[in-house]
Amino acid sequence: MKKSLKLIALLLVLVFSGSAWSANDAKKMTPQEVRQYVEKLKPDEYSCRVGYTNEVAERNLSLYTYSKISLEEYSKNQMGIMKHQQTCKKKGFR
């Protein structure tokens, strides 16, 4: 009985920690990963949650601030995030 409870607890921890997207992941993103993330955004109930793109937007700004990406690349990424948010509002997910 104790083993099965421990196994269930372990599985729950693995599932929730594996599926959760943490801010630490965003802090380690390369400029290419930020761009790929923005390009792959699809409006759905999960990705349209308020605050879903905040960490990536912050990473995009920090990459620009530390001269890792150009102003054009920064603007393109921000526009992609903003278009995603506008689409979410139009589709009624927010």
In a domain, 61, yes or no: yes
In a domain, 55, yes or no: yes
In a domain, 46, yes or no: yes
The model carries a pTM of 0.70
In a domain, 57, yes or no: yes
* Tokens representing residue 38 in the block: 């923005």
In a domain, 10, yes or no: no
Per-residue pLDDT of the chain (94 residues; tens, 9 = 90+): 666 666 566 555 544 444 344 556 888 999 999 999 999 999 998 889 888 899 999 999 999 999 999 999 999 999 999 999 999 999 998 7
In a domain, 26, yes or no: yes
Compute φ and ψ for 23, nearest 5 degrees.
Answer: -65, -30
Number of structural domains the chain divides into: 1
In a domain, 37, yes or no: yes
- Domain ranges, residue 52: 21-90
In a domain, 11, yes or no: no
**Residue length, the chain?**
94
The alpha carbons of the chain give a radius of gyration, in whole angstroms, of 17
